[in-house]
Structure 1
Amino acid sequence: MTSPLDPVAAQDRRETVFADVAIIGAGPVGLMIANYLGLQGVRVVLVEKLEQIIDYPRAIGLDDEALRVFQSVGLADALLPHTTPDHWMRFVTHAGHCFASIEPRTDEFGWSRRNAFIQPLADRVLFEGLRRFPHVEVWFDHSLTSFAQDQSGITIETEDAGGERRTIRASYMVGADGGNSFVRRLLNVPFEGRTKPNQWIVVDVRNDPIGSPHVYMHCDPKRPYVSAALPHGIRRFEFMVMPGETEEELSKPQNMAALIRKVVADPEKVDYIRKRVYTHNARLASTFRVDRVLLAGDAAHIMPVWQGQGYNSGIRDASNLGWKLAMVVKGLSDSALLDTYTAERRAHARSMIHLSEVAGDIFAPTSRFGIRFRDAFVRTFNLFPAVKRYFVEMRFKPMPRYETGVVLFAERKRKHGVLARVLERSGHSAPGRLLGLMSEKRESLLGRLVYGRDPLCLSPVGRMFIQPRVRTVDGRVVRLDDVLGNRFAIVGWGSDPTFGLSPLAREIWQRLGGCFVLAKPDTQLDFHDDVPDDVIAIGDVNSRLKDWFSRVSESVVLLRPDRFVAGMCTPQQISAQIGELAERLNLQPADRQADSAAAAASAITTAAVLRDSGFAVATGA
């Protein structure tokens, strides 16, 4: 028998690293999940096959929901210098006339709805954010070779560029390894959808040769192209690749000059970063979970670039999955909670794919009929102001609305009318996709005509809560999430949300780490007699919260850590709502949670001893 300090035994132990969660892929989604789990004290190993994070521009559009997720992990301020807020999208005819402009000016979630950004710099912010967490490791230059699941965890085999093998033993694994996901392929998860027949060449340049702000979609029937201003003097051009053209041919100096001459005076003075041809894909995994493996980002869904939603949809995945994984690995919730990830995210990802396809159909129709339909449609904008507002204010964008999962209302089936069935059958055509997209917003007039009036569409449950500016008791004016933090929250308007709370409900809320918030008119904030010690008081600076609560019938909202509304109730119903929420969360009994915490503490102690003895073993479950 070898002793604990035997060199041979030490070498064997050195081959296995333990963690709560292993993440495959250090793209933006993997990095964001690692940051969220790091904040929750979860032990993570992040595996990336490249030597470093990608340093060339890819995604260029960031929405308000994604910025709110950066805020949730404490990195929004570091990201903002690499963004351009209020980044409009303008559709231009071949003669230079702007016939449509998407200019959303609302900030209900605390940030500009459309922002340009530099993805490599955003990814760098996420990567540097991981330095805050000694319990998060990043392995560059390591490839996943295989994995095997069992009842207690998952064993992951990796290999670096030099052929050295390392094993990770984790409770769960996240496949965030891109559209060609090795994780998804090993799981044999279907990835269904379609690939557009036409290709585009992307050209990124420094020292912007045009300088005009915003994104311009030039609907040139001979060759549609895009010109997008980005931060730090970078501009992106995208040109449709015509039949018979290749990346090699288009990249030749004389051919590239011919393309760039459409938009700049002197192609010889353009400072190129990169040129790359890509194909638009629209694909969706059949499930985002297989036992202990979760899929996220492009590994779960890929979509055309026209609305810049690929990056943002991946960040939404990270926000939805992060808090659920943290609850499960900490022993707070049963693993069944992870089933709600697919239930909540997959339907919305499908809607965003649909949106991106519609935008592509409008910008670059593939037939003469499509061009005529597009032109006739946009001419209606000036005739029907409501239709124009629908597009200009970006109301067509499908917002996440969870009807199943961790939401507190009864599930139900929707009966579709005749028009709905017609739209479903015509969904393969450009007009069908456009009308289908408009009808998906079921609280709109067209949506009600198609699907009938659905009372739950008017409910805030399952939707993201607003994020106004609020005042704290020490006089600071901040965004709401900066007060709430990454935790459950009960926000009551005008009265103490803890009055009459049952002891069991209070105990459950404490186990969840939730907070109680009393929102009141800003003028009343200096009066403290109505605020118990365990309640956070905030002042409604611009009356945004009062306006929101005035449109609903209840005065108390239960918020999830990702700031979605889990439930609404009156003050006397809070205890019952907490109990129902505990059921939806598959909350573990207190004694079982204590056992899980003791096991985790034992693992930390054991790993620390091994580390002090010279063994390269990370802490883990």
Structure 2
Amino acid sequence: MNNSAKPQGFDTDVAIVGGGPVGHLLAILLGQRGKRVTLIERWTTYYPLPRAVTFDHEIARILATLGINAETDPAINFHDELYYWRNRDGEDLQIVDWQSKSASGWRVRYWFNQPYLEERLMEIANQLETVEIIRGWEAAEMVQDAESVTLTLRRNPEEGGRPDETRQLRAKFVAGTDGANSFVRETLGIENEDRGYFFDWLILDMIPDFDYVASRPHEPAQWQLCDPVRPTTIVPGGPGPVAGGPDRRRWEYMVLPGEDATELQKPENAWKLLEPWGITPENSQLERAAVYRFQARWAKLWNKGRCLIGGDAAHLMPPFAGEGMCAGVRDALAMAWRLNGILEGKYGLEALDSYTTERVEHAKHYINFSQELGQIICIADEAEAAKRDKEMIADLAARNHTPVPTDICHLGHGAWCQDSAHSGELSVQGVVEANGKVDLFDQAVGQGWVLIGYDTDPMAVLSAAQKAQLASLEGFGVQMSAQAGQANVLDREGTYKAWMEEIDARYVLIRPDFYVALTANSPEALRERFDKVMQSLNVPAVEAALSA
């Protein structure tokens, strides 16, 4: 689909303020559908140093749709290990499952270098004819009415812009992916729900010239040192700058009460902190030293009129669960399928409201989880730490050292049927054979609105009007079976059979963001629940089908 002509009366379909990974991904997902997109970034060049270093299985699944395979991409790697939380005596306090392969078909945890990923996303965005990227400009004013949003842009004065260098841009929608101090959020008057969680941490990104993990076999590859003398995080930082060479590593140190954060991040002090780990100026490069304030907050609304916010503009979370950037990538996909559908006349404008209700609750889950993990590690008092250690060691023993799962999180109320079990959850994905390929479902069959029937044809169950609605969404039906020759999609490993038996379903409707819209175990339930999902998005009836 290519709608490359400028929309009549508008400069663009969607203006995106903020050109980080979330903004670029949103631009790509809209541009791939032929939407006219203007991406506005206040800096003329992208930030070349590390920030986020990890993402989860859901992000791997999303990136795979862009042709970025987390299993084979040289800029991404993984460690088949659990995530340990240990006291200073080396005793386990908590174990988080960062080792398993997730139900969605990808590993629970991957490691990467953010500048590499941003370069990849920029390359993809630059190849799309309908995506325009404006660098060195920032949003200065924003006014919206019932049909449009008008942005006044100015040259970024920090990039040498003059006060009189301005231009206007009229868009059908505006998305603010412009960071924690979001102009879009502030202009919309959206308040934050703040958990009052503030801890300063020194982040040190290192490039060792040796294999650090192999050199310290007594330590996990990814872990937290819960030592009240200096709480510390030790994790991978993704592949190093030389292909096949040593990986990057990251150390994070809590700034203690009374310490001067500016003084602590000076290189000479950073190297002193690294000495106990065998990291010295002679065997490693200090790529970045920066103090960050870890916070826990979320915006109370993520959409207002024709404007949306996502990424750090919508939420901030401590990094202990590794979900900060992940949440922003989910935001981009959730915004994209709704905006694409509204612009194509598939959904009503009300679909944007479910973006807020679904994503707020989802982000809150990870913020709360991250904060709970932070409450374990951010203890600088000896007596309090001793009490924590005793309680957590006993609790872990009572659980037989069972790792805490991290890959199940539910959407808030929205465009899915609450009457059916497991709706609002990320769908399972397995290896299938279809269209002459053997691959994960998304790559072999495709994505979008997908109605799966197991050992039954789901399209034979829908009414003519429902089939027309699904077709209007460019959705399609899939008959799946574990028996060769019995269906158009072969469940090669029995993944879907096991899943659908577990949730007591013969039918599953999967959305473009891979979340389950409905499950049903009878034709009657499928038809009833299908209508509820269509109503939640205000999908219009298709008259031609009704009269056919």
TM-score by length of 2: 0.88
**Contact 2:140/2:154, CA 8 A, preserved across alignment:** yes
Matched, 1:496 2:447: no
**Contact 2:194/2:298, CA 8 A, preserved across alignment:** yes
Amino acid at match of 1:525: A
Shift in Å at residue 591 of structure 1?
Answer: 7.8
CA distance in 1, matches of 2:198, 2:440: 45
CA distance in 2, matches of 1:503, 1:252: 68
| Residue 71 (structure 1) aligns with | 64
Decide which of 36, 40, 48 is 2:29's aligned counterpart. 36
**Contact 1:195/1:279, CA 8 A, preserved across alignment:** no
| Residue 568 (structure 1) aligns with | 519
| Residue 242 (structure 1) aligns with | 256
Count of residues paired in the alignment: 515
**Contact 1:39/1:73, CA 8 A, preserved across alignment:** no
Matched, 1:401 2:410: yes
Residues 542, 158 of structure 1: CA spacing in aligned structure 2 closer, same or farther, 3 A cutoff?
same
| Residue 504 (structure 2) aligns with | 553
CA distance in 2, matches of 1:77, 1:227: 22
- Please identify which structure carries the higher helix content: 1
| Residue 391 (structure 2) aligns with | 377
| Residue 23 (structure 1) aligns with | 16
Matched, 1:510 2:450: no
CA distance in 2, matches of 1:360, 1:367: 14
RMSD: 2.4
Shift in Å at residue 219 of structure 1?
Answer: 1.9
CA distance in 1, matches of 2:182, 2:516: 32
Residues 257, 77 of structure 1: CA spacing in aligned structure 2 closer, same or farther, 3 A cutoff?
closer
| Residue 47 (structure 2) aligns with | 54
Decide which of 459, 484, 493 is 1:542's aligned counterpart. 493
Partner of 2:320, secondary structure, is coil
**Pairwise mapping of residues 357-506 of structure 1 onto structure 2 (< 5 A)?**
357-368=371-382, 370-381=384-395, 383-385=397-399, 388-389=401-402, 392=403, 394-395=404-405, 397=406, 399-402=408-411, 404-410=413-419, 459-474=421-436, 476-506=437-467
| Residue 85 (structure 2) aligns with | 91
Partner of 1:62, secondary structure, is strand
CA distance in 2, matches of 1:318, 1:399: 20
Shift in Å at residue 288 of structure 1?
Answer: 0.5
**Contact 1:87/1:115, CA 8 A, preserved across alignment:** no
- Residues 172-196 of structure 1 show CA distances to partners (whole Å, capped at 9, x for unaligned) of 1011001111111111211231454
CA distance in 2, matches of 1:93, 1:246: 25
| Residue 314 (structure 1) aligns with | 328
Residues 293, 224 of structure 1: CA spacing in aligned structure 2 closer, same or farther, 3 A cutoff?
same
| Residue 214 (structure 1) aligns with | 221
CA distance in 1, matches of 2:207, 2:414: 45
- Residues 223-247 of structure 1 show CA distances to partners (whole Å, capped at 9, x for unaligned) of 1222222222211111122233223
CA distance in 2, matches of 1:105, 1:19: 43
Shift in Å at residue 155 of structure 1?
Answer: 0.6
| Residue 526 (structure 1) aligns with | 485
- Residues 510-548 of structure 1 show CA distances to partners (whole Å, capped at 9, x for unaligned) of 111001101101xx3335xxx5xxxxx111111111111
Residues 19, 382 of structure 1: CA spacing in aligned structure 2 closer, same or farther, 3 A cutoff?
closer
- Residues 54-84 of structure 1 show CA distances to partners (whole Å, capped at 9, x for unaligned) of 2110111110011111123333369832222
CA distance in 1, matches of 2:474, 2:128: 20
CA distance in 1, matches of 2:470, 2:81: 41
**Pairwise mapping of residues 310-349 of structure 1 onto structure 2 (< 5 A)?**
310-349=324-363
**Pairwise mapping of residues 268-279 of structure 1 onto structure 2 (< 5 A)?**
268-279=282-293
Residues 251, 497 of structure 1: CA spacing in aligned structure 2 closer, same or farther, 3 A cutoff?
closer
Shift in Å at residue 382 of structure 1?
Answer: 5.4
CA distance in 2, matches of 1:558, 1:252: 54
Matched, 1:228 2:252: no
